[in-house]
Structure 1
Amino acid sequence: MLERLNQAMDHIEDHLMGAIDVAELARIAMTSEYHFRRMFSALAGIPLSEYIRRRRLTLSGAEVLAGERTLLDVAVRYGYSSGEAFARAFRAVHGVGPGEARRTGAALHSQPRMSFRLIVEGSSSMRYRVVEKDGFRLVGRGTRVPLVHEGMNPAIVEFVRGIGMETLRLWEEHADGEPGGVLAAVSDHSAEDAEGTEIGYFHGVVSDTEVPRAPESLAVEPGTWAVFESSGEFPLAVQYLWRDVYTQWFPSNPYRSRPGPSLSRTRVSEDGTHADAEVWIPVERTGG
């Protein structure tokens, strides 16, 4: 998988001065466009579109400083429809406009070309199972929160605190399906979402009956799920589990992610330092 992903990275480099078709990148990597975006984001730490933008502005920055082409020629060469659009994008990445950069020889930011390799440490094993499930219903409460890639998400902490421990215990008593217990669900998180992007967040339990103080519901379609377990420091162990799924498990197994809500159940120790987590990711077989 990583070899094919690096071939897709070569394709990006070859087409930075033209159109880059994500469907073609997915074909080169022999996966779906949805999974390619998710895989890239997990491995690179930034969305695919942001990486391409930064690479284009890195190369165009070198041409701006070289002074061999007009600024408009450089803008058009890297896919910008006007000098104004190019200047806005240039300033967002480099902190200075292209004209000023050329006049002053300003130091610019650089996005290095990426390639990927798999490091096998062998220090721990990943516990997982694959589950086929009929459709089910989550009942609870939903909201929208800004995306946080690492560390606690204050908006989620505040939302869950607002539900209250008494209500959460009441919900858990009414949970009657798998995944069991009180769950967190992210229903519309795209691989292109940058830090701070608002995403849908739902807190609730699987149940076919009425649950007290749970005014909302989220329907989940039938399908295949990869279920992963982790124990360790909270919240890093949970977030690292998500990373390891995409960097270690997917490249080694005949599955790819598919659209659908991602689910997680986290049990935190009384002192808040340790957690046992279970993560459910919607997947489909690749046929490999």
Structure 2
Amino acid sequence: MNYFESMERTIEYIESHLCEDITLDELAAMAHLSKFHFHRVFQAMVGDSIMEYIRLRRLTLAGQQLRQTRKRVVDIAFDYQFSSHETFCRAFKKTFGVTPTECRRDKVGLSIRGKAILRRDDSRLGGFTLEPKIIFKDTFTVVGMEIITTQEDNNTNFTIPKLWSRFNPRANEIENRHTGGLGLCVSEGFENCDFSYMACCEVSAVDSIPEGMIARTIPACKYLVFTHKGSVDNLGETYDFIYGKYIPNANYEIQSKVDFELYDERFKPDSPDSEMDIYIPIK
């Protein structure tokens, strides 16, 4: 699979449909990825989340319309798919620091979001490098706590750290558990950018399930396994490398299955010596 061609095709489609409704479903289908993985690959390669990129491109072109035409503000708002005049004005002011009226009246220069240009050697990622292992993991079962969330919701409301703060004190209630923990992402069957996240432990058998927890069986699969070294504060850089550089330049096709992070005895959250493994399912 050529990720660069898929993302470039997606960017061109977005550019020619900014005045129309654009859905995550159609973009992910165009890129031949699940919505979850499309979101991750796009953000890592472009630098903005998919919906933020679309929003900024629309606002940029709306700003050009304000300065170059005499169209009514409300008409420009509707042209670029904003639900109301008020919604458009709030988004414009938040992004550019001026209202649409001020932009037009004062011919204000805007900090625009240009059309994304992809580079195979992405300078944003510097000299960062990781070499993954390829392993096949047999079917396994986990027990733990689950939430339905999104990347944006987690970034804003810390939904995943809050889940771990509830799960960790109760992990010992799980029978037949293996040492360490897993952070499990399941994206199939969910709308938009939603995904299921489990804070859990692998188990050798399910004799009972503690209250407020669930069990899930994960099918056998082949994985790329990357080892993140250092504090979890830098985990985003590792994911940007994986989805923005390594996978687009490699000949692996991501599967729409379960991604997970493994936290074993090497994991020390805030230590520079900490290590954790990231499992990406591939075909």
What's the TM-score, normalizing by structure 1? 0.73
Cα distance in 2 for partners of 1:270, 1:218 equals 26
CA deviation profile, 1:171-207 (whole Å, cap 9, x unmatched) = 799435xxx63222345698976xxxx9764332111
Cα distance in 1 for partners of 2:104, 2:56 equals 19
CA RMSD of aligned residues (A): 3.9
CA deviation profile, 1:89-108 (whole Å, cap 9, x unmatched) = 32342333322332343443
Tell me the equivalent position of 1:202: 198
User: Which 10-residue stretch deviates more, 253-262 or 207-216?
Assistant: 207-216
Q: Following superposition, which runs of at least 4 residues in structure 1 exceed 6 angstroms of deviation?
A: 120-123, 189-192, 211-214
Does structure 1 retain, via aligned residues, the 8 Å contact 2:230–2:270?
no
Match of 2:230 among 230, 233, 252: 233
Tell me the equivalent position of 2:142: 138
User: SS at the partner of 1:268?
Assistant: coil
* Partner amino acid, structure 2, of 1:274: D
Does structure 2 retain, via aligned residues, the 8 Å contact 1:185–1:261?
yes
Does structure 2 retain, via aligned residues, the 8 Å contact 1:129–1:228?
yes
1:114 shift after superposition = 1.0
Cα distance in 1 for partners of 2:75, 2:61 equals 13
Query: How many residue pairs get matched?
Result: 269
1:25 shift after superposition = 4.0
Does structure 2 retain, via aligned residues, the 8 Å contact 1:171–1:211?
no
1:56 shift after superposition = 0.6
* Partner amino acid, structure 2, of 1:140: G
Alignment of 1:1-288 (within 5 A): 1-20=3-22, 22=24, 25-26=27-28, 29=31, 31-34=32-35, 35-119=37-121, 124-131=129-136, 133-134=138-139, 136-142=140-146, 147-148=154-155, 156=161, 159-160=164-165, 163-164=168-169, 170=172, 174-176=176-178, 181-187=180-186, 201-207=197-203, 208-210=205-207, 216-236=213-233, 238-251=235-248, 252-260=250-258, 262-265=260-263, 267-269=266-268, 272-283=271-282, 285=283
Identity of aligned residues (%): 23
* Partner amino acid, structure 2, of 1:279: I
* Partner amino acid, structure 1, of 2:177: A
Cα distance in 2 for partners of 1:271, 1:20 equals 40
* Partner amino acid, structure 2, of 1:203: A
CA deviation profile, 1:86-130 (whole Å, cap 9, x unmatched) = 333323423333223323434434212212122288875512214
* Partner amino acid, structure 2, of 1:32: L
* Partner amino acid, structure 2, of 1:102: R
Does structure 2 retain, via aligned residues, the 8 Å contact 1:41–1:47?
yes
User: SS at the partner of 2:134?
Assistant: strand
User: SS at the partner of 2:142?
Assistant: strand
